[in-house]
Amino acid sequence: MQITKLQEMLEEAKKRPKKRLVVAYANDLHTIEAVDEAISMDIVTATLTGDENNIKRLCAEAGIDHTRFEIIHETSDIEAGLKCCDMINKGYGNIIMKGTLSTDNYMRCILNKERGIMVGKSILTHVSVIEPNGFGKLLIVGDVAVIPQPDIAQKVAIVKHLISTAHSLGNEMPKVGLLAATEKVSYKIPSCVDAALIAKMADRGEIKGALVDGPLALDGLIDKESCEIKGIKSTVAGDADCILFPNIESGNVFYKTCTKLLNSELAANVVGAKVPAILSSRGDSALTKLYSIALAALTSTN
């Protein structure tokens, strides 16, 4: 069954075997609340690293039983992140999650040459699953937070991660749209050239498990009426399930337009490491973090 709402991710994750979640520097209430709810739903068991006294105080203030978590005391945010990576490397975790340490420090821990959780020359990228209000289905998009200006190899990697995420959500043949400013292949616009190359790679079977097309402008990706008016002929146009952004600016603007102007909810993970890495903002709600845990549980292969 294809998942078309974020709430359906929670229901599906509840049916799967529980995952082990390790949280780096879990010194904020929203993170603790989200993890507590995921435990209540039997989606995960959890270890929290961070200031033990602070974690217990936050739990007490919110009426949460702190004994539901394993708590590892650590006052250094970076060391807390590295200890989480150690647990992943020892097979003690299936998902890693960011608490209140900065994104830069979180990524440094994941990328650490001695204690990090990278695999070979894999590419880390950020995948968001957004439920735009009134759209009728989920949109899987990337990259909005990690790779500033992806080259062609990085774009191909992002596309493959978008496809893999769609498969994990029950969409066996997702439609992947490659965003640009126009549907015309203009050699003056690098995003158009890259999109045309990636689309041709998919046509030749070098990218499998999806219908891939581009370049397409945003209206050509998601609005069937615009496609009819413009005469766009494509297996993807007007009905995209996934969107590849040409750069972080376009992705981040779309992401924040959905969340801040449209009040849409989402889930987000960093992929490409040994396990899914939840990278929600420190200001994200407990619900956003809960959805991100569910997404990680559904996409984890460990």
pLDDT tens digits for range 187-205 = 899 999 999 999 999 999 9
281 pLDDT above the threshold of 90: no
Helices 52-62 + 29-40 axis angle, to 10: 70
Mean pLDDT of 8-28: 96
Residue 175 β-bridge partners: 211
CA dist., res. 251 & res. 259, Å (int)? 12
pLDDT tens digits for range 161-174 = 999 999 999 999 99
Burial class for 65, CB neighbours closer than 10 Å (0-12, 13-18, 19+): exposed
CA dist., res. 173 & res. 135, Å (int)? 19
| 282 pLDDT tier (thresholds 50, 70, 90) | low
pLDDT averaged over every residue in the chain: 95
Q: Across the chain, where does the E strand assignment appear?
A: 19-24, 44-50, 70-73, 95-98, 125-131, 139-142, 175-179, 211-216, 242-244, 265-271, 277-278
232 pLDDT above the threshold of 80: yes
Q: Is 161 left (phi over 0), alpha (psi -120 to 50) or beta?
A: alpha
pLDDT tens digits for range 28-79 = 999 999 999 999 999 999 999 999 999 999 999 999 999 999 999 999 999 9
Nearest to 300 by CA among 37, 6, 44, 34: 44
- What proportion of the chain, given as a percentage, has pLDDT over 90? 90
90 pLDDT above the threshold of 90: yes
Contact 207, 201 (CB under 8 A): yes
| 260 pLDDT tier (thresholds 50, 70, 90) | confident
Nearest to 210 by CA among 156, 171, 238: 171
pLDDT at residue number 4: 96
| Domains of the chain (ranges, CATH numbers) | 6-119+273-299 (3.40.50.10950), 127-261 (3.40.718.10)
Contact 144, 255 (CB under 8 A): yes
Contact 230, 236 (CB under 8 A): no
pLDDT at residue number 131: 97
DSSP code of residue 273: B
Which residue in this structure is represented by tokens 């439609």?
175
Mean pLDDT of 118-146: 94
| 251 pLDDT tier (thresholds 50, 70, 90) | very high
Backbone angles phi, psi at 162, to 5 degrees: -60, -45
Which residue in this structure is represented by tokens 């039997």?
42
